[in-house]
Copies of this chain bind each other. A is one copy, B any other.
Amino acid sequence: MSNPSRLFTFTGRDAGQWEIIRTVTVIGEDWPHAARLSVTPEPDAPPPDARWTLRGITSNARYTNRDEKNRLTERQEDLGRPAATLAALIPIRKTAAWWALTQDERRAVFEEQSRHIGIGLNYLPAVARKLHHCRDLSEQEPFDFLTWFEFAPEHEAVFDRMLDELRRSPEWAYVDWEIDIRLRRA
């Protein structure tokens, strides 16, 4: 197929392109630490050294309007920049209360109350980002979203500030499991 891959497997294991610096539990149960992470297009059998695997699929944006999309497109940079040697994989699960909200209610919490897109825009182009959805892959996915971020070491403090802003927003009252996995290109 000529379309770009949408489905990715993130595998915590002994070998891989990314060294896992630390695995921090922000809220909810702990997640097992591994030495390395590999990111591969779906699907393969888990390698023998796999400690854990997570799957996610890129999809259409669910909240962004045209004006916001244009501003994001103008400012954002792609993954894989040579200077962006640090990364974060942040798996998140949202509560049943979140998923019971209607589209207008979710949008209001997401942007009008929490400025999720607005906050993210302030950190472009320093932080590159890709969102993977898990919730509709199967009934067995532990998380709802896997967000992948890449940035240069001089922007690590800036990245941490962005996460701090988001985590203090009303949207995060609907997050009941969040793991913050920090990585360095190996």
Partner of A139, one of B42, B69, B105, B133: B42
A138 touching B103, Cβ below 8 Å: no
B102 touching A69, Cβ below 8 Å: yes
Partner of A136, one of B42, B65, B137: B137
Residues of chain B contacted by A25 (CB below 8 angstroms): none
Residues of chain B contacted by A1 (CB below 8 angstroms): 139
With A66-B104, A69-B102, A104-B66: A138-B61 Cβ-Cβ less than 8 Å: no
A interface vs B, CB < 8 Å?
1, 3, 5-7, 42, 57, 59-66, 68-69, 99-107, 133, 135-139
5 pairs across A/B with beta carbons < 8 Å? A60-B99, A60-B106, A65-B102, A136-B137, A137-B138
